[in-house]
Structures are given as C-alpha cells and as structure tokens.
Amino acid sequence: MYTYLISSLAMLNFGDTPPFSYQSFLKICQEFIPERDIEILKDISRVDIENIEVHQPTLKKWYTFEVTLRNELVKLRAACKKIDLEKYLRPTDDDLVESHLTHIAHLAYQSHSILEGEEILDRGRWQKLDDLEFGHYFDLDHLICYACKLLILERWQRIKSSDSHKLLEQTLQG
C-alpha cells in the first residue's frame, strides 16, 4: 500500500514550489494507508509540539530535534539579552545536544537578515529529515519526513508570495 503511494509522489527539493498542499497530500494518503497512520500525519502540522505525546519513533526523533533546536536558539537569545533562560527552555526526551544543532542555531542567529536566518534553520531541518528518511523508502517513516518537508515548502511559498515589507513589519511587531 505504501509502495504505490510513495512512488507516485513528486520529489521534494528545498526551495522548490510545493507540488500540492499539505491538505491535498493528506487526501491522497487517505486512499492508500490506514486511518491510524493518517492521524499521525495530521499531528505533524500541530504547532504545540511540546505538548504532544508521541509514540511513533521517527516523529518522536523529529519533535525532539525541533524542540532541541528551539532550545538552542533560546540559549543564544538569553545570553545576548542577559536574561534567565530556564523559563523559556522546553523539556526534551534527549538531553544530548548534537553539535551541529548548536552550529545551525548560531549561524541563524548571526545572519544578517531574518529571512536568511530562517532559511539556515529550515535547511538544517531539511537535512535532519533527510537523515531520518535514510533507509525508509516505502513506509510510514518516509511519509512523515515527506509531510514535514512539504510543510517547510508551504511555509516558504507563503513567505515568497507575501509582501516583504508587510512581513518584516509583522515580524518586528510580534
């Protein structure tokens, strides 16, 4: 069931236009995979990832990566502003911080523009998804990584199609 579905999906590359929306992706998947797996794919788009109990191993690794990356950014911002970071850090299942995460966060934090920093972060996320996807060609793990990548592409499509001045103004205000 996964083989046909995955082999029919368009290949995703960072910076490309998404071939279809995340919602369309979910509809396509509904024709081929069990409902319990659809529910896992739906959870991926949730924003409050710190409050989700996850049992699927790949998704758990992805959420741990994302929370750890955000924590690294908190550490950099707190050090710069000389504030207590403890109330902003989120718990993770893994206390080990991969050194490349610190590097990604540092590069993004030091970038000359907000968009450049966001691109650095999303390229780091994309690389992590490539790592998680390795060895998973026709299974739920592959679809999880695909869904995460599709959400990244959708985000960049929104950024590219928005008014850059309005986007900058909203970012600086909020």
Residue 163 lies in a domain: yes
Q: CA 159 to CA 17: how far, in whole Å?
A: 12
Q: CA 34 to CA 99: how far, in whole Å?
A: 37
What's the confidence (pLDDT) of residue 167?
64
Residue 12 lies in a domain: no
Domains: count for the chain:
1
What's the confidence (pLDDT) of residue 61?
92
What's the confidence (pLDDT) of residue 172?
66
Residue 113 lies in a domain: yes
Domain that includes residue 27, residue range: 2-7+17-173
Residue 52 lies in a domain: yes
Structure tokens at 3: 């083989």
pLDDT tens, per residue, the chain with 174 residues: 799 999 999 999 999 999 999 999 999 999 999 999 999 999 898 867 766 778 899 999 999 899 899 989 998 888 777 787 777 777 776 666 677 888 999 999 999 999 999 999 999 999 999 999 999 999 999 999 999 999 999 999 998 887 766 766 676 665
Q: At a CB cut-off of 8 Å and minimum separation 6, what does 163 contact?
A: none
